[in-house]
Amino acid sequence: MLNAAIMAAEEGTSPLAPNWWEFLVTLAGFAVLMFIVIKYVMPAFEKTFEARTAAIEGGIAKAEAAQAEANAALEEYKQQLVDARTEANRIREEARAEGAQILADLKEKAAAESARISEQAHVQIEAERQAAVVSLRAEVGTLATDLASRIVGESLADDARSSRVIDRFLADLETSSQSAGAAK
Amino acid sequence: MIALALPAATTEEGFVAPTIEDTHYRDILPWGDAYGVWFDPGFGKQMLMVILSVVLIAAFFLVASRRHQLVPGKVQFLGESAYGFVRNSIGKDIIGGRDFMRYVPWLFTAFFFVLVNNIFGAIPFLQLPSFSHPGSAYAIAAIFYLLWVGIGVQKHGLRYFKLAVVPSGVPWYILPIVVPIEIISNFIVRPVTHSLRLFATMLAGHLIVTLAGSAIEYMVMTGNILLQGTSVLVLLGAIAMYMLEVLIMILQAYVFTLLAAIYIEGALHADAH
């Protein structure tokens, strides 16, 4: 041990004894490197990082804007769809109401028309009946007078008398036919 | 150190183990010898490698950060990942707050400076971790020692030293014991371990590989067939140790930067601890 210690002492260098030139070179090297790092390397890297962050954030903002736009468009389309449905329903309702109205109108018109036609028919029938009655009365009177005068000769030529007789006869005929209708 | 010197005392037995001296390659430019000046500013391999590391790191990150493309290419992506790792995983997570960005350049520079210089130890022909030389380890630890003490003083004034050594919530009668411990722990042990941890792991790893290499050489040269056969086992072991060393090189760069960040955070928020 002692021998070794002496030998180490004789060698003159402890492993812990620095070479001061190496010390200085290391200091200088560190200083130079740090200067380069501060002056060139770090600003360049930081600039790139910032640009990248900005680009990513810009991209995100853009994507968000696009998303918002798409959502707005979707909302708009949905609204339009709802509007269109409402419109369609409204139109359908209107058409239905209109159809019903038209139908009712037509029915009313048809009823009025039929009423009018039947009324007209009644009037015409009545008029024709009256005409028929009048003409019948005249004709029957004439026929009966002719017949009677032929049967009894010219005794019945006096107009006034004959028409009185015929009227009485027809009135009797009417009352008997009416009482017969009532009895029926 | 004595243990490391021991094998050298057994020279008669044949195998001469490499010593610390072997990690100091002879100077490329032995100025001191040439000009006979009192100091010897010998320009060694280690210094050349430190400078090389600065050139490599600067070149890589300048190229990687040159084009600010939103969709990065391979080199830019690699550079951004590396930068983002130190910035976020170490700076933001440890220091946090609003002003962690002020300290990111320190951490970023330290991480890659240490990492590349460590990795040099795993590259054939370079094959020397720069921080296995104590001068470099002291230098980079001193930078951070001054930095976090400076941050503490700037942030809290001279009250920082009281905040750093007098823990809150400790009964007054324990303080005489606690305060000296805190002084030693915070202002002496901390920077020393910060540097020695890096230095010792790098030196140890380097020595193991060197030892294995020289042992294989010795075994092969003996002409003894058994020893020559055994050298294959040593080679396999050396390869395994080499892989472990690569892991430790990366890990120590991370640990060094992480501790630096923790110390800075401690100085920033000395009043909260």
Kindly identify which residue of chain B lies nearest to residue A8, measuring between CA atoms. Answer: B5
Give the pLDDT band of residue B246 (cuts 50, 70, 90). Answer: very high
Tell me which DSSP letter residue B27 carries: P
Token reading at B137: 């380890």
What's the pLDDT score for residue A8?
44
Token pair 């590989």 is found at B209
Beta carbons within 10 angstroms of residue B132's beta carbon: 27
With an 8 Å Cβ cutoff, are B9 and A7 in contact? yes
Token reading at B108: 């970023």
State the average pLDDT over residues B50-57: 92
Interval A143-183: pLDDT, tens? 777 777 766 655 555 677 777 777 887 788 778 777 766 65
What's the pLDDT score for residue A6?
42
What's the pLDDT score for residue B230?
85
The CA dihedral of B81, B84, B90, B94, to the nearest 10 degrees, is -150
With an 8 Å Cβ cutoff, are A18 and B138 in contact? yes
Within 208-267 of B, beta carbons closer than 8 Å to A belong to none
What's the pLDDT score for residue B29?
53
Token pair 């058994």 is found at B226
Decide if pLDDT at B176 tops 60. yes
E strand or H helix that includes residue A108 = helix A42-152
Decide if pLDDT at B170 tops 50. yes
pTM: 0.67
- pLDDT > 70 fraction of chain A, expressed in percent and rounded: 85
B58 → closest Cβ in A22, A33, A48: A33
Contact residues on chain A for B45, CB-CB shorter than 8 A: none
Q: Rounded CA gap, B142 and B192, in Å? A: 9
Nearest 5°: phi and psi at B73? -80, -175
Token reading at A21: 């030139």
With an 8 Å Cβ cutoff, are B66 and A44 in contact? yes
What's the pLDDT score for residue B70?
74
Interval B123-161: pLDDT, tens? 888 888 888 888 899 999 999 999 999 999 998 988 888
With an 8 Å Cβ cutoff, are A51 and B70 in contact? yes
Give the pLDDT band of residue B7 (cuts 50, 70, 90). Answer: very low
Q: Rounded CA gap, B85 and B98, in Å? A: 18
State the average pLDDT over residues A49-57: 87
Tell me which DSSP letter residue B70 carries: S
State the average pLDDT over residues A34-59: 89
Kindly identify which residue of chain B lies nearest to residue A45, measuring between CA atoms. Answer: B65
Give the pLDDT band of residue A39 (cuts 50, 70, 90). Answer: very high
Please return the burial class of B109, using the count of CB atoms within 10 Å of its CB with bins 0-12, 13-18 and 19+.
Answer: buried
Contact B109/A at CB under 8 A: yes
B134 → closest Cβ in A15, A41, A44: A15
What's the pLDDT score for residue A94?
94
> How crowded is the C-beta side of B20, counted as CA atoms within 13 Å?
24
State the average pLDDT over residues A28-41: 93
Name every residue in A having a CB less than 8 A away from some CB of B.
Answer: 1, 3-5, 7-8, 11, 13-27, 29-30, 32-34, 36-38, 40-42, 44-45, 47-49, 51-52, 55
Decide if pLDDT at A2 tops 50. no
**Highest mean pLDDT out of A48-52, B18-22, B149-153, B229-233:** B149-153
Beta-carbon contacts of B260 under 8 Å, excluding residues fewer than 6 positions away, are B106, B107, B110, B144, B147, B148, B194
Token reading at B202: 């790098």
Candidates A11, A109, A161, A37; CA nearest to B101 is A37
Beta carbons within 10 angstroms of residue B150's beta carbon: 12
Contact B193/A at CB under 8 A: no
Angle between helices B134-156 and A20-36 (to 10 degrees): 60
Interval B177-199: pLDDT, tens? 989 999 999 899 999 999 999 99
Residue ranges covered by each domain of chain A: 25-126
Give the pLDDT band of residue B1 (cuts 50, 70, 90). Answer: very low
Kindly provide the ipTM of the predicted complex, given to two decimals. Answer: 0.83
Q: Are A32 and B144 in contact (CB under 8 A)?
A: no
Kindly identify which residue of chain B lies nearest to residue A2, measuring between CA atoms. Answer: B2
Please return the burial class of A30, using the count of CB atoms within 10 Å of its CB with bins 0-12, 13-18 and 19+.
Answer: buried
